[in-house]
Amino acid sequence: APGPSGVVVLSYGLWQQLGGTEDVVGSNIVVNGRTRTVIGVLPQDFRLPTDYQEGTASIYFPLGLDPSPDPRNLHYLNVAARLADGVGPAQAQTAMVTVSARLRAEIGTLPPTFIAAVVPMQQELFGDVSQTLVVLLAAVGLVLLIACVNVASLLLARGEARARELAIRTALGAGRKRLVRQLLTESVVLGAIGGGLGLLLAMWAVQALVSLDPSGLPRIDEVLVDGRIIAFTFAVALLTSVVFGLAPAFQSAHVDEQGLREGSFRTTAGKQGLRLRRALVVTEVAVGLMLTVGAGLLIRSFVELQSVEPGFASERVMTMRSWLPGSRYPDKPAVRDFYREALTKIRALPGVTSAGAISQLPMASSPGDWGVRLEGREEERLASGRRPWADWIVVTDGYFETMGIALRQGRFTDATDRETSTPTVVINETMAARYWPDGSALGSRFKLSSTIDTIYRTVVGIVADVKHNGLDAEMRPQMFLPHGQFPATADFTMSAMSLALVTTGSPEAIIGAVRQALRSIDPDIPIAQVATMENVVKGSTSMRRLNVWLFSGFGLLALVLVTVGVYGVMSYSVTQRSREIGIRMALGASPQTVRGEIVRQGVTLTAFGIGAGLVGALALSHLLSGLLFGIGARDPITFIVIPLLLAAIGTLACYVPARHATTLDPATTLRDA
């Protein structure tokens, strides 16, 4: 029925807490001092997007909208709709354009640009996460490609080393198919062993990932290595073993019988094998560069993000949130009295230097916005057609001092801002500059463009901008309304507030004393979301930190694999050319000349790989653009430093086997060749 109702629906978690029996449905429970009848229980697998843990205890009440004021002016609700069969998001959006136009015509307070946007639920819930996971999946695929290229190169070298064995087996009647089958079987066995070791490492890596606790990654606690992951891993291991072992197997099975008779034991495809190994080196250098450039971009972006000033001090600040039940705190005076007494008791605690409260804690929640009517400019509209607006936030006295927010002009809210005094408001620099560009904001007046609060408020202070919605969020105009005066004419109370306090010692050590102080006022007041402000800020960047850690790990692994790959190919090439090198040195070639030629060949391959990798990195950077902050997707520093780093690593990987080749005794080399 419309309006307040005496029925509720329970979540599965709360139903279990109440006994988990059929008798719960139909029974009465007391909620906020009012008896309500339980009419249903939601299924176990149902959870809200914010319910990251199973068993969350929730109560669902019927929503009744009061026809006065016009409920179409209330913007705090989220609307969900299931589309009819055959109707897609595009068709639904077309319908919403028509509905929005009708609402703009009927509701005078809506701006001309107002439109209802249709967003698929999956995109609404996991939009940013989906992009992150796709990028990380691409990074995993590139690391796998580098590893497979390395293995293919090693199998080629191993096959050439077994040329004598394979030639003898061919001469004794072994067919090429049989040789290929044997070599592929060996490749699959190697892949299976590698997949098994990978699973062991994955179990450890998953635990490390969960311990990072990225708050933006839904249901991270449920990530584990289960049967599906094991099956997928071995399927990938089998597939890559066959695909990347096929070419080496055919190459190795192509035996030159003439070479067997002459005793050289070389394959007729020796030159082809060399070209293939060089192509593999170019490929893995290119892929390695793509990964390291991606890691470099994310690291640079994260450094830029960490350098952003949030506008407040988080050191030694403890925060927690409280809710006052409407049954015991039904009106504004009761709510105001509670928080005044609570802050007085908290400030008196040993080790507490200051305390305050705010309706929406920075970095932990997003405030809503209200239109405002500036005195003398009540009908003013912005270029978009919308009225001037600002995010509205309710604060108590002491909040700005506790958070270390700088005062630019005027004063902070204080204990004199009560319901009987002149209505006041504090605004941020962005709001002052946007609506009073001539610098006359201090002392100006405005009222909210709504029937919820109709009084004019005087701007008594201008504070520094605070990155409320995140370090990477665009700065918005904000107005801070004193808790002692808000809401002046509204029919609701501001009963949910986040407490913030500064301590002289460890913030965690004061939690028990704060809880006891609040219980001395009301033993049933719930306290939740207890966290230091440093952890709140850290949690707001958890997804970016996760991206940096994972991509950096992939980039480092790519560098190691590339180094091993280049070194392996050059080392094997030197081994194959030992007779040639011995002859040249016996005829007078200097070690520097031989060493320079070998290094030059390796550096040439590395250069080709870097060139190809830069092309791929440009494409990858476009994919990463949505994850970057403060730098462009084609950041010149990253695109210069990373290729130079890879070139240096490639040169070193070539120099070591080259130097080893010139230390060999020519006579010994010629005798053993």
CA distances from 465 to 68, 363, 433, 474 (A): 36, 13, 11, 11
Task: Note the pLDDT of residue 103.
Answer: 86
pLDDT at 266: 46
Kindly state the helix (H) or strand (E) to which residue 503 belongs, with its residue range: strand 496-503
Query: Mean pLDDT highest for which of 170-184, 266-280, 388-402, 577-591?
Result: 388-402
What is the Cα gyration radius of the chain?
Answer: 34
Predicted confidence at residue 481, as pLDDT, reads 92
pLDDT at 468 over 80: yes
Higher per-residue confidence, 96 vs 546 = 96
C-beta of residue 69 within 8 angstroms of C-beta of residue 448: no
What pLDDT shows up at residue 452?
A: 67
- pLDDT value of position 390: 92
pLDDT value at 673 more than 60? no
Query: What mean pLDDT is predicted for residues 288-297?
Result: 90
Rounded to whole angstroms, the Cα distance separating 188 from 244 reads: 10
pLDDT for the residue 73 = 58
Which one has a higher pLDDT value, 404 or 174?
A: 404
> Per-residue pLDDT averaged across 340-368, rounded?
92
For a pLDDT cut of 70, what percent of the chain falls above it?
86
What confidence score (pLDDT) does residue 505 get? 87
State how far the Cα of 506 lies from the Cα of 87, in Å rounded to an integer: 57
Segment 381-401 shows an average pLDDT of: 89
Phi, psi of 410 (to 5 degrees): 75, -135
Q: Note the pLDDT of residue 269.
A: 42
Mean pLDDT across 344-371: 91
The pLDDT of residue 610 is 92
Which of 585, 573, 572, 590 has its CA nearest to residue 669?
585
Task: Kindly report whether the peptide bond that precedes residue 333 is cis, defined as omega within 30 degrees of 0.
Answer: no
Pair of tokens at residue 205:
């890596």
pLDDT winner (highest mean) among 401-405, 592-596, 600-604: 401-405
CB–CB of 398/356 below 8 Å?
yes
pLDDT tens by residue, 499-553 = 999 999 888 888 999 999 999 998 888 888 899 999 899 888 877 888 888 888 8
Cα dihedral sign, 405-408-411-413: negative
- Average the pLDDT over each of 61-75, 96-110, 400-414, 556-570 and give the range with the smallest value: 61-75
Higher pLDDT, 489 or 611: 611
Task: Region of 530 please: left (phi>0), alpha (psi -120 to 50) or beta.
Answer: beta
User: Highest mean pLDDT range out of 33-42, 100-109, 215-224?
Assistant: 33-42
- Per-residue pLDDT band at 371 (split at 50, 70, 90): confident
User: Which residues, in sequence order, are bridge partners of residue 60?
Assistant: 9
Q: Report whether pLDDT(105) > 80.
A: yes
To the nearest whole number, what is the mean pLDDT of the chain?
83
pTM for the structure as a whole? 0.75
How many Å apart are CA 649 and CA 420, to the nearest integer? 73
Q: What is the pLDDT of residue 214?
A: 62
Give me the residue label for tokens 């969900």. Answer: 80
Alpha helices in 414-541 (DSSP H): 429-435, 511-521, 533-540
**How many Cβ atoms sit within 10 Å of the Cβ of residue 324?**
22
Query: What was the pLDDT predicted at 33?
Result: 67
- Span 646-652, mean pLDDT? 89
Report whether pLDDT(556) > 70.
yes
Distance CA(461)–CA(477), nearest Å, equals 14
pLDDT surpassing 60 at residue 667: yes
Using 50, 70 and 90 to split pLDDT, how confident is the model at 466?
very high
Q: How confident is the model at residue 317 (pLDDT cuts 50, 70, 90)?
A: very high
Quick one: which of 545, 549, 548 has its CA closest to 537? 545
Residue 170's pLDDT is 75
- pLDDT value of residue 265: 44
Instruction: Report the pLDDT averaged over residues 67-82.
Output: 69
Q: What is the predicted pLDDT for the residue at 593?
A: 84
Least confident of 3-12, 100-109, 526-535, 544-553: 3-12
d(CA 84, CA 78): 19
> Which of 65-69, 135-139, 169-173, 202-206 is predicted with the least confidence, judged by mean pLDDT?
65-69
Residue 634 DSSP label: T
- Is residue 210 over pLDDT 80? no
Question: Of 2, 112, 66, which is closest to residue 452 (Cα–Cα)?
Answer: 66
- Angle, helices 176-212 vs 542-576, to 10°: value is 150
Separation CA 580–CA 349 (nearest Å): 84
> Which pLDDT does position 493 carry in this prediction?
76
pLDDT at 622: 83
Bigger pLDDT: 629 or 269? 629
- pLDDT computed for residue 498 by the predictor: 94
At residue 41, the pLDDT reads: 93
Instruction: Evaluate whether 466 touches 428 at the Cβ level (below 8 Å).
Output: yes
User: What is the pLDDT at residue 267?
Assistant: 41
pLDDT of 273 reads 61
pLDDT of 225 above 80: yes
User: In terms of Cα–Cα distance, which of 539, 401, 547 is closest to 471?
Assistant: 539
**First CA to last CA distance, the chain:** 96
The pLDDT-based confidence of 222 (bands split at 50, 70, 90) is: confident
Instruction: Tell me the pLDDT band of 571, cut-offs 50, 70 and 90.
Output: confident
Amino acid at position 525, single letter: I
Q: Is the pLDDT of residue 387 over 50?
A: yes
